[in-house]
Amino acid sequence: MLASLILPSLAFLLATDNALAATPIISAVGSKFFTADGDQFYIKGIAYQLISTDPLVDTDQCKRDAKQMQDLGANAIRVYHVDPTADHKGCMSAFADAGIYLFVDLDDFPTQIQPDTPAWNQSQLSAFSAVLDEFQQYDNTAGVFVGNEVLTTAEVSNAAPYVKAAVRDMKAYRDSKNYRKIPIGYSAADVPGLRPMLQNYLACGDNDAERADFYSLNVYEWCADSSYDGSGYSQLEKNATGYNIPIFISETGCRIPRPRLFTDQSAIFGPDMSDTWSGAIVYEWIQEANDYGLVNYGPTVDPNVSTDALDGYPRSGMPTTQSPDYGNLKSQWATLSPTGVKLSAYSASARITPPACPTSTPGGWIVNGNARLPSVGQTLDNAATSSGATPSSTGSATKATPSPTGGGTISGGREVAGMAVGLLTVMMGFVIWF
Protein backbone atom coordinates (compact mmCIF):
# COMPACT_ATOMS: atom_id res chain seq x y z
CA MET A 1 0.00 0.00 0.00
CA LEU A 2 2.81 2.41 0.88
CA ALA A 3 4.54 1.99 -2.47
CA SER A 4 1.37 2.51 -4.48
CA LEU A 5 0.53 5.72 -2.64
CA ILE A 6 3.91 7.37 -2.13
CA LEU A 7 6.49 6.23 -4.66
CA PRO A 8 4.97 7.46 -7.95
CA SER A 9 4.56 11.01 -6.68
CA LEU A 10 7.97 10.97 -5.00
CA ALA A 11 9.65 9.80 -8.21
CA PHE A 12 7.98 12.57 -10.18
CA LEU A 13 9.05 15.24 -7.72
CA LEU A 14 12.65 14.01 -7.67
CA ALA A 15 12.74 13.92 -11.46
CA THR A 16 11.84 17.60 -11.64
CA ASP A 17 14.02 18.72 -8.75
CA ASN A 18 16.87 19.82 -10.99
CA ALA A 19 14.67 21.89 -13.26
CA LEU A 20 12.61 24.01 -10.92
CA ALA A 21 10.49 26.77 -12.38
CA ALA A 22 9.84 30.11 -10.69
CA THR A 23 6.91 28.43 -8.99
CA PRO A 24 7.89 24.83 -8.21
CA ILE A 25 5.13 22.41 -9.09
CA ILE A 26 2.79 21.07 -6.42
CA SER A 27 2.09 17.36 -6.04
CA ALA A 28 -0.05 15.32 -3.69
CA VAL A 29 2.05 12.78 -1.80
CA GLY A 30 0.18 10.69 0.69
CA SER A 31 -1.91 13.02 2.83
CA LYS A 32 0.02 16.21 2.07
CA PHE A 33 0.96 18.62 -0.70
CA PHE A 34 4.64 19.14 -1.48
CA THR A 35 6.54 21.49 -3.74
CA ALA A 36 9.11 20.10 -6.14
CA ASP A 37 11.87 21.27 -3.79
CA GLY A 38 10.52 18.99 -1.06
CA ASP A 39 8.74 21.48 1.19
CA GLN A 40 5.24 20.83 2.48
CA PHE A 41 2.78 23.25 0.90
CA TYR A 42 0.02 24.93 2.89
CA ILE A 43 -2.70 26.81 1.01
CA LYS A 44 -3.37 30.43 1.93
CA GLY A 45 -5.92 31.00 -0.79
CA ILE A 46 -8.54 33.43 -2.01
CA ALA A 47 -11.69 32.70 -4.04
CA TYR A 48 -11.23 34.77 -7.20
CA GLN A 49 -14.10 35.20 -9.69
CA LEU A 50 -14.27 38.84 -10.78
CA ILE A 51 -16.57 38.06 -13.69
CA SER A 52 -18.87 35.13 -14.30
CA THR A 53 -17.15 33.83 -17.41
CA ASP A 54 -13.39 33.88 -16.81
CA PRO A 55 -11.29 36.19 -14.59
CA LEU A 56 -7.99 34.91 -15.99
CA VAL A 57 -8.03 36.69 -19.36
CA ASP A 58 -7.23 40.31 -18.40
CA THR A 59 -3.48 40.35 -17.86
CA ASP A 60 -3.29 43.91 -16.53
CA GLN A 61 -6.01 43.23 -13.97
CA CYS A 62 -4.35 40.00 -12.90
CA LYS A 63 -1.06 41.86 -12.36
CA ARG A 64 -2.76 44.44 -10.16
CA ASP A 65 -4.58 41.79 -8.14
CA ALA A 66 -1.55 39.51 -7.84
CA LYS A 67 0.49 42.36 -6.38
CA GLN A 68 -2.23 43.08 -3.82
CA MET A 69 -2.52 39.39 -2.97
CA GLN A 70 1.20 39.31 -2.30
CA ASP A 71 0.67 42.07 0.24
CA LEU A 72 -2.15 40.05 1.83
CA GLY A 73 0.04 36.96 2.11
CA ALA A 74 -1.90 34.73 -0.27
CA ASN A 75 -0.21 31.94 -2.20
CA ALA A 76 -3.21 30.51 -4.08
CA ILE A 77 -6.47 31.40 -5.77
CA ARG A 78 -9.55 29.37 -6.55
CA VAL A 79 -11.37 30.09 -9.80
CA TYR A 80 -14.80 28.53 -10.36
CA HIS A 81 -15.45 29.22 -14.06
CA VAL A 82 -13.06 29.58 -16.99
CA ASP A 83 -13.20 29.54 -20.77
CA PRO A 84 -10.79 26.78 -21.92
CA THR A 85 -10.51 28.36 -25.38
CA ALA A 86 -9.21 31.69 -24.04
CA ASP A 87 -5.58 32.77 -23.66
CA HIS A 88 -4.54 32.54 -20.01
CA LYS A 89 -0.79 32.91 -20.38
CA GLY A 90 -0.62 36.52 -19.20
CA CYS A 91 -2.66 36.00 -16.05
CA MET A 92 -1.06 32.70 -15.14
CA SER A 93 2.37 34.30 -15.54
CA ALA A 94 1.32 37.27 -13.41
CA PHE A 95 0.22 35.00 -10.58
CA ALA A 96 3.26 32.76 -10.98
CA ASP A 97 5.56 35.76 -10.68
CA ALA A 98 3.79 36.58 -7.40
CA GLY A 99 4.21 33.02 -6.12
CA ILE A 100 0.49 32.30 -6.41
CA TYR A 101 -0.96 28.94 -7.46
CA LEU A 102 -4.30 28.10 -9.09
CA PHE A 103 -6.99 25.64 -8.04
CA VAL A 104 -9.59 25.61 -10.83
CA ASP A 105 -12.98 23.95 -11.19
CA LEU A 106 -13.36 21.79 -14.29
CA ASP A 107 -17.14 22.05 -14.46
CA ASP A 108 -19.50 24.86 -15.36
CA PHE A 109 -23.26 25.29 -15.19
CA PRO A 110 -24.04 23.25 -18.34
CA THR A 111 -21.60 20.47 -17.38
CA GLN A 112 -21.80 20.14 -13.60
CA ILE A 113 -23.02 16.87 -12.12
CA GLN A 114 -26.59 17.30 -10.93
CA PRO A 115 -27.59 15.82 -7.56
CA ASP A 116 -31.21 15.05 -8.42
CA THR A 117 -30.54 13.47 -11.82
CA PRO A 118 -26.90 12.41 -11.61
CA ALA A 119 -25.12 11.55 -14.82
CA TRP A 120 -21.61 11.38 -16.18
CA ASN A 121 -21.56 11.56 -19.96
CA GLN A 122 -19.23 12.17 -22.87
CA SER A 123 -20.12 15.86 -23.15
CA GLN A 124 -19.16 16.44 -19.52
CA LEU A 125 -15.97 14.44 -19.90
CA SER A 126 -14.95 16.38 -23.00
CA ALA A 127 -15.67 19.72 -21.35
CA PHE A 128 -13.70 18.82 -18.22
CA SER A 129 -10.84 17.59 -20.39
CA ALA A 130 -10.72 20.86 -22.31
CA VAL A 131 -10.15 22.80 -19.09
CA LEU A 132 -7.44 20.38 -18.00
CA ASP A 133 -5.80 20.60 -21.44
CA GLU A 134 -5.56 24.36 -21.09
CA PHE A 135 -4.28 24.64 -17.53
CA GLN A 136 -1.97 21.64 -17.33
CA GLN A 137 0.66 23.64 -19.21
CA TYR A 138 1.17 26.03 -16.29
CA ASP A 139 3.48 25.04 -13.45
CA ASN A 140 1.41 27.04 -10.98
CA THR A 141 -1.73 24.98 -11.59
CA ALA A 142 -1.86 23.23 -8.23
CA GLY A 143 -5.07 21.24 -8.55
CA VAL A 144 -8.46 20.87 -10.20
CA PHE A 145 -11.95 20.15 -8.86
CA VAL A 146 -14.41 17.80 -10.59
CA GLY A 147 -17.29 19.33 -8.68
CA ASN A 148 -18.40 21.87 -6.11
CA GLU A 149 -21.12 21.03 -3.58
CA VAL A 150 -22.81 18.45 -5.81
CA LEU A 151 -24.18 16.69 -2.73
CA THR A 152 -25.97 18.87 -0.18
CA THR A 153 -28.12 16.29 1.64
CA ALA A 154 -27.82 12.60 2.44
CA GLU A 155 -30.94 12.02 0.33
CA VAL A 156 -28.93 12.68 -2.84
CA SER A 157 -25.82 10.74 -1.82
CA ASN A 158 -26.47 8.32 -4.68
CA ALA A 159 -24.87 11.01 -6.84
CA ALA A 160 -21.52 10.29 -5.17
CA PRO A 161 -20.54 7.47 -7.58
CA TYR A 162 -20.86 9.94 -10.46
CA VAL A 163 -18.46 12.33 -8.76
CA LYS A 164 -16.04 9.48 -8.19
CA ALA A 165 -16.45 8.34 -11.81
CA ALA A 166 -15.48 11.85 -12.90
CA VAL A 167 -12.36 11.59 -10.75
CA ARG A 168 -11.53 8.20 -12.24
CA ASP A 169 -11.91 9.31 -15.85
CA MET A 170 -10.11 12.62 -15.41
CA LYS A 171 -7.17 10.85 -13.78
CA ALA A 172 -7.14 8.35 -16.64
CA TYR A 173 -7.27 11.17 -19.19
CA ARG A 174 -4.50 13.10 -17.43
CA ASP A 175 -2.27 10.04 -17.44
CA SER A 176 -3.10 9.06 -21.03
CA LYS A 177 -1.94 12.50 -22.18
CA ASN A 178 1.28 12.17 -20.17
CA TYR A 179 0.49 15.32 -18.23
CA ARG A 180 2.14 15.74 -14.87
CA LYS A 181 0.04 14.34 -12.05
CA ILE A 182 -1.92 17.49 -11.29
CA PRO A 183 -4.02 16.62 -8.22
CA ILE A 184 -7.68 15.99 -9.03
CA GLY A 185 -10.22 16.31 -6.24
CA TYR A 186 -13.57 17.57 -5.04
CA SER A 187 -14.98 20.53 -3.08
CA ALA A 188 -17.79 19.49 -0.73
CA ALA A 189 -20.52 21.31 1.10
CA ASP A 190 -20.07 21.01 4.86
CA VAL A 191 -23.20 18.97 5.58
CA PRO A 192 -23.38 17.09 8.90
CA GLY A 193 -25.49 14.36 7.31
CA LEU A 194 -22.67 13.60 4.87
CA ARG A 195 -19.83 13.61 7.40
CA PRO A 196 -17.57 11.74 7.18
CA MET A 197 -19.15 9.36 4.66
CA LEU A 198 -18.56 11.39 1.49
CA GLN A 199 -15.06 12.27 2.60
CA ASN A 200 -14.22 8.61 3.17
CA TYR A 201 -16.07 7.39 0.07
CA LEU A 202 -14.00 9.51 -2.33
CA ALA A 203 -10.77 8.25 -0.77
CA CYS A 204 -11.65 4.59 -0.16
CA GLY A 205 -11.01 1.44 -2.15
CA ASP A 206 -8.00 -0.54 -3.27
CA ASN A 207 -7.81 1.05 -6.71
CA ASP A 208 -5.82 4.28 -6.62
CA ALA A 209 -7.06 5.09 -10.14
CA GLU A 210 -10.55 5.63 -8.69
CA ARG A 211 -9.65 7.56 -5.55
CA ALA A 212 -9.58 11.34 -5.40
CA ASP A 213 -6.15 12.94 -5.08
CA PHE A 214 -7.49 15.40 -2.51
CA TYR A 215 -10.70 16.35 -0.70
CA SER A 216 -11.87 19.77 0.45
CA LEU A 217 -14.75 21.33 2.35
CA ASN A 218 -16.58 24.66 2.12
CA VAL A 219 -16.84 25.50 5.81
CA TYR A 220 -18.63 28.46 7.40
CA GLU A 221 -18.81 27.19 10.99
CA TRP A 222 -16.34 29.49 12.73
CA CYS A 223 -18.10 32.85 13.12
CA ALA A 224 -16.80 35.95 14.93
CA ASP A 225 -14.37 35.06 17.70
CA SER A 226 -15.43 31.44 18.11
CA SER A 227 -13.15 28.63 19.22
CA TYR A 228 -11.71 25.34 18.06
CA ASP A 229 -14.25 23.35 20.07
CA GLY A 230 -17.16 25.78 19.90
CA SER A 231 -17.04 26.10 16.12
CA GLY A 232 -17.04 22.41 15.34
CA TYR A 233 -13.51 22.47 13.91
CA SER A 234 -12.47 19.90 16.51
CA GLN A 235 -14.97 17.49 14.93
CA LEU A 236 -13.61 18.23 11.46
CA GLU A 237 -10.14 17.40 12.74
CA LYS A 238 -11.38 14.20 14.35
CA ASN A 239 -12.97 13.08 11.09
CA ALA A 240 -9.81 13.84 9.11
CA THR A 241 -7.20 12.35 11.43
CA GLY A 242 -5.40 9.55 9.62
CA TYR A 243 -6.92 10.52 6.25
CA ASN A 244 -4.96 9.16 3.32
CA ILE A 245 -5.10 12.12 0.89
CA PRO A 246 -4.64 15.88 1.37
CA ILE A 247 -7.63 17.67 2.87
CA PHE A 248 -8.17 21.41 3.08
CA ILE A 249 -10.89 24.03 3.46
CA SER A 250 -11.92 25.25 0.00
CA GLU A 251 -14.16 28.09 1.26
CA THR A 252 -14.26 29.82 4.63
CA GLY A 253 -14.96 33.27 6.03
CA CYS A 254 -18.19 33.54 8.01
CA ARG A 255 -19.38 37.17 7.83
CA ILE A 256 -22.09 37.35 10.52
CA PRO A 257 -21.65 38.78 13.05
CA ARG A 258 -19.27 41.49 11.98
CA PRO A 259 -16.39 42.10 11.92
CA ARG A 260 -14.76 39.15 10.18
CA LEU A 261 -11.85 38.23 12.43
CA PHE A 262 -10.57 35.11 10.62
CA THR A 263 -9.44 33.62 13.91
CA ASP A 264 -10.14 30.17 12.48
CA GLN A 265 -6.88 30.52 10.55
CA SER A 266 -4.92 30.12 13.79
CA ALA A 267 -6.51 26.70 14.25
CA ILE A 268 -6.07 25.60 10.63
CA PHE A 269 -2.40 26.61 10.47
CA GLY A 270 -1.63 25.95 14.13
CA PRO A 271 -0.92 22.82 16.15
CA ASP A 272 -4.57 21.81 16.35
CA MET A 273 -4.95 21.08 12.63
CA SER A 274 -1.80 21.73 10.60
CA ASP A 275 -0.57 18.16 10.82
CA THR A 276 -3.77 17.00 9.10
CA TRP A 277 -5.10 19.95 7.07
CA SER A 278 -3.32 21.60 4.16
CA GLY A 279 -4.67 25.12 4.59
CA ALA A 280 -7.69 27.13 3.54
CA ILE A 281 -9.19 29.31 0.81
CA VAL A 282 -11.01 32.41 2.03
CA TYR A 283 -14.20 33.52 0.32
CA GLU A 284 -13.80 35.94 -1.51
CA TRP A 285 -11.62 38.54 -3.24
CA ILE A 286 -14.11 41.02 -4.70
CA GLN A 287 -16.74 42.94 -2.75
CA GLU A 288 -20.20 42.48 -4.20
CA ALA A 289 -23.81 42.12 -3.10
CA ASN A 290 -23.12 39.13 -0.85
CA ASP A 291 -20.71 41.27 1.24
CA TYR A 292 -17.84 38.77 1.43
CA GLY A 293 -15.22 40.85 -0.39
CA LEU A 294 -11.70 41.69 0.74
CA VAL A 295 -11.23 44.40 -1.89
CA ASN A 296 -13.36 46.61 -4.11
CA TYR A 297 -12.75 48.46 -7.36
CA GLY A 298 -14.50 51.67 -6.49
CA PRO A 299 -17.94 52.79 -5.34
CA THR A 300 -21.06 51.09 -6.58
CA VAL A 301 -22.55 52.36 -9.82
CA ASP A 302 -25.72 52.04 -11.84
CA PRO A 303 -25.30 48.69 -13.65
CA ASN A 304 -27.49 49.99 -16.48
CA VAL A 305 -24.94 52.73 -17.12
CA SER A 306 -21.63 50.97 -16.48
CA THR A 307 -20.83 47.88 -18.50
CA ASP A 308 -17.98 47.07 -16.11
CA ALA A 309 -20.27 46.28 -13.21
CA LEU A 310 -22.45 43.40 -12.13
CA ASP A 311 -25.23 44.35 -9.74
CA GLY A 312 -23.55 47.74 -9.44
CA TYR A 313 -20.11 46.51 -8.33
CA PRO A 314 -17.17 47.43 -10.58
CA ARG A 315 -15.11 44.44 -11.70
CA SER A 316 -11.76 45.99 -12.65
CA GLY A 317 -9.31 48.70 -11.72
CA MET A 318 -7.00 49.24 -8.77
CA PRO A 319 -8.04 47.05 -5.83
CA THR A 320 -8.93 48.99 -2.69
CA THR A 321 -8.86 47.01 0.54
CA GLN A 322 -12.03 46.52 2.56
CA SER A 323 -11.60 47.54 6.18
CA PRO A 324 -11.31 45.83 8.57
CA ASP A 325 -11.64 42.44 6.80
CA TYR A 326 -8.52 42.68 4.64
CA GLY A 327 -6.35 43.84 7.51
CA ASN A 328 -7.71 41.21 9.87
CA LEU A 329 -6.89 38.38 7.46
CA LYS A 330 -3.48 39.84 6.65
CA SER A 331 -2.64 40.03 10.34
CA GLN A 332 -3.68 36.43 10.88
CA TRP A 333 -1.68 35.04 7.98
CA ALA A 334 1.40 37.09 8.88
CA THR A 335 1.79 35.15 12.11
CA LEU A 336 1.00 31.69 10.73
CA SER A 337 3.70 29.87 8.80
CA PRO A 338 3.76 26.16 9.59
CA THR A 339 6.83 24.42 8.23
CA GLY A 340 5.30 20.98 8.13
CA VAL A 341 7.55 18.10 7.20
CA LYS A 342 10.16 17.65 4.49
CA LEU A 343 9.21 15.25 1.70
CA SER A 344 12.30 13.13 2.33
CA ALA A 345 11.39 12.61 5.96
CA TYR A 346 7.68 12.13 5.26
CA SER A 347 8.00 9.61 2.46
CA ALA A 348 10.31 7.49 4.54
CA SER A 349 7.95 7.33 7.50
CA ALA A 350 4.42 7.59 6.10
CA ARG A 351 2.14 4.63 6.51
CA ILE A 352 -1.17 5.36 4.83
CA THR A 353 -4.23 3.17 4.55
CA PRO A 354 -7.42 4.25 2.74
CA PRO A 355 -10.49 4.50 4.96
CA ALA A 356 -13.16 1.84 4.84
CA CYS A 357 -15.87 2.59 2.30
CA PRO A 358 -19.03 3.69 4.14
CA THR A 359 -22.04 1.41 4.19
CA SER A 360 -25.60 2.50 3.53
CA THR A 361 -27.85 3.38 6.44
CA PRO A 362 -31.67 3.67 6.45
CA GLY A 363 -32.63 7.29 5.94
CA GLY A 364 -28.99 8.33 5.60
CA TRP A 365 -26.00 7.61 3.38
CA ILE A 366 -27.16 5.61 0.36
CA VAL A 367 -24.09 4.17 -1.38
CA ASN A 368 -23.27 0.73 -0.01
CA GLY A 369 -19.57 0.09 0.32
CA ASN A 370 -17.22 0.23 -2.64
CA ALA A 371 -20.02 0.28 -5.21
CA ARG A 372 -19.32 -0.25 -8.88
CA LEU A 373 -18.87 3.14 -10.50
CA PRO A 374 -21.01 4.15 -13.47
CA SER A 375 -19.33 4.23 -16.85
CA VAL A 376 -19.58 7.14 -19.25
CA GLY A 377 -23.14 7.55 -20.47
CA GLN A 378 -24.94 6.01 -17.51
CA THR A 379 -27.58 7.77 -15.44
CA LEU A 380 -29.33 6.75 -12.25
CA ASP A 381 -32.74 5.13 -12.48
CA ASN A 382 -34.64 7.14 -9.88
CA ALA A 383 -37.50 4.66 -10.04
CA ALA A 384 -35.29 2.03 -8.45
CA THR A 385 -36.34 0.68 -5.08
CA SER A 386 -34.42 -0.40 -2.03
CA SER A 387 -33.51 -3.59 -3.87
CA GLY A 388 -30.88 -1.56 -5.70
CA ALA A 389 -30.43 1.50 -7.83
CA THR A 390 -29.89 0.77 -11.49
CA PRO A 391 -27.68 2.91 -13.70
CA SER A 392 -29.33 3.05 -17.10
CA SER A 393 -27.47 3.80 -20.29
CA THR A 394 -28.34 7.07 -22.01
CA GLY A 395 -25.38 7.03 -24.32
CA SER A 396 -22.11 5.26 -24.84
CA ALA A 397 -21.11 3.22 -21.82
CA THR A 398 -17.82 2.17 -23.31
CA LYS A 399 -14.28 3.43 -22.77
CA ALA A 400 -14.08 7.17 -22.23
CA THR A 401 -12.79 9.11 -25.23
CA PRO A 402 -12.31 12.72 -24.14
CA SER A 403 -12.17 15.30 -26.87
CA PRO A 404 -9.20 17.66 -26.46
CA THR A 405 -11.27 20.49 -27.90
CA GLY A 406 -14.60 19.75 -26.24
CA GLY A 407 -16.18 22.22 -23.88
CA GLY A 408 -19.40 23.68 -22.61
CA THR A 409 -20.65 27.23 -22.94
CA ILE A 410 -19.31 29.37 -20.13
CA SER A 411 -22.16 31.33 -18.61
CA GLY A 412 -23.78 32.37 -15.38
CA GLY A 413 -22.12 33.27 -12.14
CA ARG A 414 -23.08 31.21 -9.11
CA GLU A 415 -20.16 32.47 -7.04
CA VAL A 416 -20.32 35.95 -8.53
CA ALA A 417 -23.99 36.29 -7.76
CA GLY A 418 -23.49 35.02 -4.24
CA MET A 419 -22.36 32.14 -2.11
CA ALA A 420 -24.08 28.81 -2.68
CA VAL A 421 -23.64 26.78 0.48
CA GLY A 422 -26.10 24.03 1.14
CA LEU A 423 -29.09 25.76 -0.41
CA LEU A 424 -30.24 22.85 -2.55
CA THR A 425 -32.79 20.45 -1.07
CA VAL A 426 -33.77 17.53 -3.25
CA MET A 427 -36.09 14.71 -2.31
CA MET A 428 -35.63 11.40 -4.06
CA GLY A 429 -36.83 7.83 -3.56
CA PHE A 430 -34.75 5.72 -1.20
CA VAL A 431 -32.29 3.72 -3.23
CA ILE A 432 -29.12 1.80 -2.41
CA TRP A 433 -26.06 1.20 -4.55
CA PHE A 434 -24.62 -2.32 -4.63
> Residue 250 phi/psi, 5° resolution?
-95, -10
Task: Quote the CA–CA distance of 142 and 133 in Å, as a whole number.
Answer: 14
pLDDT on residue 380: 72
Distance from the first to the final alpha carbon of the chain = 25
Nearest of 357, 373, 404 to residue 169 by alpha carbon = 373
Task: Quote the CA–CA distance of 292 and 254 in Å, as a whole number.
Answer: 8
Task: Quote the CA–CA distance of 89 and 138 in Å, as a whole number.
Answer: 8
The Cα-based distances of 15 to 25, 96, 179 in angstroms read 12, 21, 14
In one-letter notation, the amino acid at residue 330 is K
pLDDT on residue 310: 79
- Whether 211 and 180 have beta carbons less than 8 Å apart is answered as no
pLDDT, tens digit only, all 434 positions of the chain: 444 444 445 444 444 443 334 689 999 999 999 999 999 999 999 999 999 999 999 999 999 999 999 999 999 999 999 999 999 999 999 999 999 999 999 999 999 999 999 999 999 999 999 999 999 999 999 999 999 999 999 999 999 999 999 999 999 999 999 999 999 999 999 999 999 999 999 999 999 999 999 999 999 999 999 999 999 999 999 999 999 999 999 999 999 999 999 999 999 999 999 999 999 999 999 999 999 999 999 999 988 887 777 789 999 999 999 999 999 999 999 999 999 999 999 986 777 899 999 999 999 999 999 989 999 998 775 433 233 443 443 333 333 333 332 332 222 333 333 333 333 333 333 333 44
Record the pTM: 0.86
Task: Quote the CA–CA distance of 35 and 86 in Å, as a whole number.
Answer: 28
Nearest of 250, 158, 243, 144 to residue 196 by alpha carbon = 243
Task: Supply the DSSP symbol for 52.
Answer: S
pLDDT on residue 392: 43
Nearest of 192, 190, 191, 211 to residue 200 by alpha carbon = 211
Active site residues: 149, 251
Task: Quote the CA–CA distance of 381 and 389 in Å, as a whole number.
Answer: 6
Q: CB under 8 Å to 157, separation ≥6 — which residues?
A: 151, 194, 197, 198, 365, 366, 367
**Displacement of CA 20 from its chain's centroid (Å):** 25
Indicate the helix (H) or strand (E) that contains 201: helix 197-201
pLDDT on residue 299: 93
* Burial tier of 432 (Cβ tally within 10 Å: 0-12, 13-18, 19+): buried
The Cα-based distances of 373 to 169, 202, 206 in angstroms read 11, 11, 14
In one-letter notation, the amino acid at residue 116 is D
Task: Quote the CA–CA distance of 429 and 141 in Å, as a whole number.
Answer: 40
pLDDT on residue 381: 56
Task: Quote the CA–CA distance of 116 and 177 in Å, as a whole number.
Answer: 32
- Whether 320 and 295 have beta carbons less than 8 Å apart is answered as yes
pLDDT on residue 1: 45
- 352 — alpha (psi -120 to 50), left (phi > 0) or beta? beta
**Beta-sheet pairing, 277-282 with 43-47:** parallel
Nearest of 377, 326, 295 to residue 126 by alpha carbon = 377
pLDDT on residue 219: 97
